[in-house]
Amino acid sequence: MVIPVEYAVAVDRFLSAADIGDNSRRVYRIALTTWAWLLVDREPPAGPARRSAAPPVVPLALLCAPGAGAAVAAAFATRAAAVGPRTANRELSILRGAVAWWTGEGWLDTDPTTGLRPRRVPASAARLGADEVRAVLALDAPLRDKVFWHLVHESGASVERLLALDTDRLDLPRRRSRSAGADAPSVRWRGGTAGLLPMLVVGRAAGPLFLTDRRAPAGTPAADRCPYTGRARLSYRRAAEIFTAATRPLDPAGRGWTLRQLQG
């Protein structure tokens, strides 16, 4: 017998029980909330509209109703076309983890993701050449973005790791972050970042290093909110959008480049 648990409640229970860090929990919640829209064949809001949009009320039992597998497959295909295979695959993996936990709790008796395979991710675009990197780093851009782009290029660390940095973990004289264990090793940078980074953190001794332009919405975890400005941690999606838009005039194809292409 399937227990009639509302989807949002089931998401809360799953995230409370999950053995993951705060940043991962935030990513999981965004992905699972996105699925709430997809499960009722509605397009998830994007950009700033996502913060104020109330997701639809969805009964968890919808995931094991007749035809649920086909509906999830169709939603996955639609999502992959909208945001690309890499993001869609990650969201599918998160949904699968939640479904497995809900099944273990006895709330579902079938898995609607069975048989779904991740989409093939095309080979990464070529790294930017030296002249292209110089052009990017010379762009007239806000200090936050210039620091971030220098750090992406100089550190070689993943974009996710860099966005997870906090100001109190920086060792500016040694040009590195302080390690927080095996799961969060040091990030090191070179002269370009070193010349700009101190200006970015003036007056801030704690909180996320890279911040959004506006105050964090209600309910943002304390770890993702600046205690001085009230602004939120910059998301991967927003950082990627900013970079692609800024580099569009430099790209001969007119599409703009990706942060992964900037990595050294």
Q: What is the pLDDT of residues 151-194, one digit of tens each?
A: 999 998 889 899 999 999 999 999 999 876 545 678 999 999 99
Residue (of 78, 77, 81, 96) closest to 31 by Cα position:
96
Q: Answer yes or no: do 70 and 149 share one domain.
A: no
Q: By the 8 A CB rule, do 69 and 86 touch?
A: no
Beta-bridge partner residues of 246? none
CA distances from 56 to 38, 61, 196 (A): 10, 15, 43
Q: Answer yes or no: do 43 and 137 share one domain.
A: no
Per DSSP, the three-state class of 139 is coil
Q: Answer yes or no: do 137 and 72 share one domain.
A: no
- The verdict on residue 114 lying in a domain is no
- The verdict on residue 115 lying in a domain is no
- The verdict on residue 134 lying in a domain is yes
Q: Which pTM was predicted?
A: 0.57
What count of Cα atoms within 13 Å lies in the side-chain half-sphere of residue 259? 25
Which residue's entry shows tokens 């949904």?
Answer: 95
Residue 184 burial (CB count, 10 A): 15
Q: Answer yes or no: do 20 and 59 share one domain.
A: yes
Q: Answer yes or no: do 211 and 149 share one domain.
A: yes
95-140 confidence digits (pLDDT tens): 999 999 999 999 999 999 999 998 886 655 678 889 999 999 999 9
Q: Answer yes or no: do 138 and 248 share one domain.
A: yes
Q: Which of 49, 70, 104 is the last residue of a domain?
A: 104
192-202 confidence digits (pLDDT tens): 999 999 999 99
- The verdict on residue 109 lying in a domain is no
Domain assignment of residue 17, given as a range? 7-104
Tell me the C-alpha distance between 35 and 63, whole Å.
11
Domain tally, the chain: 2
Q: Answer yes or no: do 154 and 217 share one domain.
A: yes
67 backbone φψ class: left, alpha, beta (φ>0; ψ -120 to 50): left
Q: Answer yes or no: do 136 and 256 share one domain.
A: yes
- The verdict on residue 123 lying in a domain is no
Q: Answer yes or no: do 67 and 134 share one domain.
A: no
- The verdict on residue 112 lying in a domain is no
Q: Answer yes or no: do 99 and 134 share one domain.
A: no
